[in-house]
Amino acid sequence: MRVWFMLMFMLVVGVPSVQSEQPQVEIVKMPAQLNTRYFDPKNPPADRPPLIGPEEAVTVGDFLSHASVGGQVMQIDATHAKARINRIKVTLQLNMTIWLPDNPQQRTVEHEEGHRQISEYYYRNAEGIARRIAEPHFGKTIDLSGADLRQLLSAAIDKIAEEITVEYKRQMPVESTQARYDAITEHGRKEILVPDAVAQALKETYPEPDKAAVALVDRPDYLAWKNFAPGARVVYAAKYWNLAGSNKFVAGPITSLKAYQLRVINDEGVRLWFSEAPTDRYGRPMPPNEWEETIAAQYDSNAGPSANQSRSAQLLTLFHQAGNLAMGVQTTPRPIETGEDTIEVNGARIATQWESATYEYDTSVWPTFKNCRLVIKLWTSAAVPSGLVRKTEERTCPPGGDQLARVMVETYLQSFEGFTPTASK
C-alpha cells in the first residue's frame, strides 16, 4: 500500500472577517473515490505500481488535501507588518485504486479488500483530525519584518502548511497499519479472516484514543434504513451525459451498478451488503466487488461528517459521487433551491424532495475551470432505503475553452426489492 498525502495552501491577503454563517475553520471531506483496475500479469500496464515480493495485487490510496488560508494584513511601515489568520478551509479527498490480476483468486480479492477497509477507516477519522490540527492556527498573529513583506508572508504560510502536514501524517499512520496488515496476513497467504487481521493491525498501530463522554445523535444514514426490514435492496446506476449536436444531451453507457441490501438492523446500527458491478470505458462488464458495510446508529454531532458545514458543503458529500466533477469547487454558502417532484421507477411513482446548489471552481488551483460552474441536484425520499432517488452533477463551461462545454453525471435508482415505495398521488 502506497499512501501519498498532498497539502496545498492558497493565501488570501486582506480578506475581511468571514461571514458568521461560514465556519472560521471549515473542513470539507469529499466522498472517497474507489476504483478497481485489472491487468494481465504477463503484460501489466505501465502505470501499474510495482509488485513487491509475493504480491499478486496492490492497492494504492492517495490522501489529498487542499487548504486555503485567509488573513488580514496591517502594514506598519515599509518594512514591518502584522498578519492575522482569520480563515482556514481544508478540503480532503481519498482516491483509491485496487489493482487486481485478470481472473483473481478469491483470497487475493479479499486481501486487497482489507487494504481498502483500512484506508476508509482512516478517512472516516480524517475530518476530525484535520480540524484539530487546523484550529490552533486560526487567529495566529504573524510579525513580518524585512524588505520584501510579501515574500516573508508567503514563507510564513509555507511554514504553517509544513506544520499541518507533518502533524497530519503523524496522526494518520496509514502506511504503518497497511504494512502490519501485510505482515499479519503474509500478503494474503495466511489463513486468517480479513476482518480479524484488519482489527489486529489497527489495534497494534492505531489504538483508539480515550474519548470524553459526548451527547450522541441519530446518524442520518442509519435513519434512512430504520423503517425497512432485512432483505430490502436498492440498485443505483450511473452514467455520463455529453453534449452532442444541436445542443442536445446524449447519454453514455452505464458506468457502474451499485447495490445495497439490508442484512441486519437494530438499536446499535445497521449492516449492509454492498456490491458493485463496474465496467470498463467501453461499457463492458468487469468482475464485481462485494463487501459488508456497518453504520453505527449514533454519532457525535460535533465531530460528525456535517459538523459546522454549510448546506452547500453537505450536498457535495451526500451519497457516493459517480464522477469527479466536484473536485476543486468552492463551498461558499449561497441560496439553495428546493422543491418537490415525482419520479417513476419501474412503475412506482415516488414523491421526492429536491435540492439544487450551484458552485464555482477555485481558479487559483484549477485555472482551466475559469468561468465554469457546477450544479448539483439531489432528489430524496424517505420511502426509499438510503433516501437517494436521483442525483445529477452538471458542469457547464464557456464554449471554446479547454474543458467540455457541458457534461453531466447522473446517479439514479434503477431497481428495488423487498419493500414497496409509498405511492405519490
Q: Which grid cell sits at 364?
A: 487559483
Residues 275 and 374 in one domain: yes
| Residue indicated by cell numbers 488535501 | 65
Residues 231 and 119 in one domain: no
**pLDDT tier, 339 (very low <50, low <70, confident <90, very high otherwise):** very high
For range 253-274, the mean pLDDT = 88
Q: Count structural domains, the chain.
A: 2
Identify the H or E element spanning 351. Answer: strand 348-360
Residues 229 and 187 in one domain: no
Whole-model pTM? 0.54
Residues 88 and 61 in one domain: yes
How crowded is residue 311: how many other Cβ atoms within 10 Å of its Cβ?
A: 14
Looking at 177, 210, 243, the residue that finishes a domain is: 210
Percentage of the chain beyond pLDDT 70 is: 84
**pLDDT tier, 303 (very low <50, low <70, confident <90, very high otherwise):** low
For range 410-416, the mean pLDDT = 94
**pLDDT computed for residue 15 by the predictor:** 34
Q: Chain centroid to CA 413: how far?
A: 21
Residues 198 and 217 in one domain: no
Comparing 20-34, 193-207, 333-347, which segment has the lowest mean pLDDT? Answer: 20-34
**pLDDT computed for residue 8 by the predictor:** 34
For range 84-108, the mean pLDDT = 87
Read off the DSSP letter of residue 189. T
Comparing 123-137, 155-169, 382-396, which segment has the lowest mean pLDDT? Answer: 155-169
CATH number at residue 405: 2.40.360
For range 147-166, the mean pLDDT = 81
Looking at 210, 242, 258, the residue that finishes a domain is: 210
**pLDDT tier, 237 (very low <50, low <70, confident <90, very high otherwise):** very high
Residues 215 and 204 in one domain: no
**pLDDT computed for residue 17 by the predictor:** 33
Evaluate whether 61 touches 96 at the Cβ level (below 8 Å). Answer: yes
Range of the domain at 30: 1-210
